[in-house]
Amino acid sequence: MTVTTVNGNPSGISNPAGSTAKLACRPNPVVDRTSLSFTMPAPGLATLAVYGPDGRMVRRLLAEHLPAGPTTGDWDLRDARGARVPAGTYFYRLEATGRSQAGSLVVVR
């Protein structure tokens, strides 16, 4: 599994208490790779993707059925074609158990 980073909650994205546990990501800002962790409150489909500043999907990191409990993954700062992403601000979105969470990360070179 591959993953992304976290830092805030852009407006318009729901994050109700008890939906999915808070995303935690370290490090942020990111130089080489980062780890993202979250907890599934119940078994279900989880999707996690990274988006560029223009809103286009950079890479889908996860789209699978997960058991309840903690999940951790890494993002190697590569896009869907395998190219390293340039420095800048990126956004992630996790959808799981009918809810979504989103945040941002900064890639520095």
What digits encode the pLDDT tens for the residues 69-93?
Answer: 999 878 999 999 999 999 999 998 9
Write the burial class of residue 17 (CB in 10 Å: 0-12 exposed, 13-18 middle, 19+ buried). Answer: exposed
Distance of CA 51 to the CA centre of its chain: 9
Segments of the chain with pLDDT less than 70:
1-21
- Report the alpha-carbon distance of residue 24 to residue 104 in Å, rounded: 11
Residue 81 falls in which region: left (phi positive, over 0), alpha (psi -120 to 50) or beta: alpha
Q: Scanning the structure block, which residue is given the tokens 């500043």?
A: 53
Query: Tell me, what's the pLDDT at 105?
Result: 94
What pairs with residue 105 in β-bridges? 90
